[in-house]
Structure 1
Amino acid sequence: MIRDADPAADAARIAEIYDHYVAHDTATFETEPVSADEMWARIARIQDRGLPWIVAEEGGRVLGYAYAGPFRDRAAYRHTLESTVYLDADARRAGTGTALYSALLERLRTLDGTAHAPVHSVMGVIALPHPGSVALHERLGFRHVGTVADAGFKLDRWIDVGYWQLML
């Protein structure tokens, strides 16, 4: 089941999923765990802007989440969003990411423009190499538009960042 995230009910589980990547992966450039309270605030900030933050749930357990937020905070960027998806490490390669991302994109296509400007494009920002993430984005119609070499340093190595864009 895919549903809107509930900051109060879901923040701790979302932080748990995310913190796996903080500690063990380069998918995020954060290096310190995120508390449930901080995650609650992040979810609320996105939803307060009229943007979707959704979760995939099975048997009452959140398996992953996806959301879209501003690509940049300058006014001229208001029609471009950055999308994000994270899955529980044990839920990968089971179709959950595709289902979550597809649901997120559908919500972005149908934003009415009252709470947020109509969405023209969505950016996927991927630490490289992450072939699964690249495959997911390309399967959903994103195309590679650029790479920044050595954009971050984590887990004792330099990491490139690729940009994938989907025009809605």
Structure 2
Amino acid sequence: MKMLLALTCCLAALLAGCAPGAASSTSLPDSGSPASVPAPASEAASTSEAPEWTDQAVAELFLSQEQNERRTVLACAAVPDGGEELVGVVLYAEPEHTDVRLAFLASDGTFQPMGLEATPADPSGLAYLGEGKFRLDILDENGEPSGQVITFRRDGVKTYFAVEPENDE
């Protein structure tokens, strides 16, 4: 009799281990653990999706937008550190304007324009300095290149620009 009771208890324990509730409870710790497969796979996907921004990639993104097809790209500079959530800046001209403009470009192709009432030097010397600052050579009143530092900064939904002569230190 004791043998039959022991076998019944063993059989009941084995059947309880196969119950649906038991199986799902053993899988909970695996799905919530940091070592689970979905979390690293999604992190790897987001890392691999972020392109390395080059000057050429910035120009292509700018020109891929329909409204920019008529604009002439004069120069561009990538923002490799993503400063101020930018991927690059594009110096461009429009057929109907005499001034040139800078487009501070986000990764989705949208941009914040800034008009310059100046003639860029050729070459323009457009370069990213870091922390939302760019360098650009424009022609002064004597037709000589003059270095300018342009700062782009966001504060919430507001955008600020500052243009200052480059310090020749």
Higher relative contact order (CA 8 A, sep 6+): 1
The structure with the largest alpha-carbon Rg is 2
TM-score relative to the length of structure 1: 0.30
TM-score relative to the length of structure 2: 0.30
